[in-house]
Structure 1
Amino acid sequence: MEYLLQVKIGALIGLLLLTLLFGFIPARVKWFRDTNGTEIHRTVLSLISCFAGGVFLAACLLDIIPDYLSDISAELEARKVEISFPVPEFIMAAGFFTVLILERIVLNCREMRGSQEERAPLIPNTNRNGHSHGTGPDLESSGHHVHVDFQAHSPFRSFMLFLSLSLHSVFEGLAIGLQNTNSKVLEICIAILVHKSIIVFSLSVKLVQSAVRPLWVATYIGVFAMMSPIGIGIGISVTEAHLAAGALIQAILEGLAAGTFIYITFLEILPHELNSPGKQLLKVLFILLGFSVMASLTFLG
């Protein structure tokens, strides 16, 4: 076995183990699953969730979208496709509307069965005092100053978040598998290890807060951990097979995943955090902190 292949397999195993480690911290530690703790406990959980929101915002704007636009532009240019219609943006819009339509279908089916589980508005109406009029439990009315509606995170939206991040992880793995130098493999692998550790921790926090069953949380984290290794394996296979349309198919899937991620970030994660009353400036600070951490990692390469 040549040394380059050994390096890629080592990167595959390292990504798998580290992702599992960071993913199972929120899933297995009871502190993250407790929604009936003290006011300080709920505040800290809310701030961690805001930090995760900032991480996802940075991943969306600084990582997923730029990577996709670069890849699709390179493919269109290589194939000498010249068209005034904004094809890259249209593909992202297709991903956005796919999630929107699927979610509306799911909600409509639930309403037809008379279920109230998913009928709370995405952005709850609030009065001047900042109290929510949604259907979720209002902790302020029971003497608390922090309102964290843990049911506002839809399990369906959490699944779509998991799906979009999983697709992106496959593409990150592809970036490793397609490299042809040892130094480049190690460089990209280290960057993805740091990036993915923060992402999987944030994803696990969101899954736990969505009241997803522990078995399903473990399944999600396990599957997510395997996505980058699968991408590495596909990349190794592609370098051997020399598929002509492989890069174009990858770019289109990246665009659909980017549109999905835009929907989840701006219509689910951030609205939920910013429309829960209490500690507003502190929440914005932690969103900015999460964004800054990911921006710094991107700047450092």
Structure 2
Amino acid sequence: MAAVPAGSADPNPPVIAVVGPTGSGKSDLAVHLALALDGEVINADAMQFYRGMDIGTAKITVAERRGVPHHLLDTMDVTEEASVSAFQADCRAAIRDIHGRGKRAILVGGSGLYVRAALDVLEFPGTDPGVRQRLEQEHETSGLPSLQERLQRIDPVSAGRLGDARRVIRALEVFELTGRPFSSFMPQREYFQPAVQIGLDVDRGILRERLAERVLKMVDAGLLEEVARLDAVGLRQGKTASRALGYAQFLKVLDGESDTAAAAEETIVATRQFARRQHTWFRADPRIHWLDWQDTDLVAKAAEICASPASVI
């Protein structure tokens, strides 16, 4: 990689975010930027919060971190439910800590809403266990279409966006608690503090093949054994972790409902679909500076963008 200039002396520099679809090389770029700009990395991949979920999430290894401190990795047990609002508080605390020590905070991850929660002005409405439980019971007795019909009447914007029961229930809960549609709480692309986003622009055909190869390497590296270990400590009870790509598919193998080859193929298909959704999500944000993921001068160009006042919003 080409040499790049040292980091800014600004006591409160802009937050840097490296975003893009899974498999595009975000973690590697973040490490190189941290080394170039005297920075530290903050994880914004929801599934990499979980201890033990290493192979299936392609979690960056200690060796690959090259001595760069990484924050918000391995912070949760698989039985715990990830929370965007909790992440927002933890991430912003990490940013203050990093900047307070004169370093650059570099956010990296493909979980779009988590990135937005860290960077943008975003309000999180409260929760009520009683209301949530009642709505979950209604879902069990009446089914999802009934809840979707109710959401359509009170919040057609959210009804058009949300298709799974968990999010539909959350939208109905928010309306009951606040009297406001859930869609009114979505961020408006207004940074909470100065920031610059670097997006990795991928060749979709190459990425498709790369994702397939990556899943097969995960299987060879012991993904099924990792899922079995996590199953023994409560993976199925985790509302977030149990739905992770690869883990949900290989739980079926443990149950005798699938075999390794079928689970691998199902994971490849699901991962490719996820990458397409990520691409669509990030492409919708006009503030992102896009760079070719295979550019030989990628690090230098990314560092130049991070150092340019014109890049900061």
More helix by share: 1
**With structure 1 as the length reference, what TM-score do the two structures score?**
0.24
Identify which of structures 1 and 2 has the higher relative contact order when contacts are C-alpha pairs closer than 8 Å and 6+ apart. Answer: 1
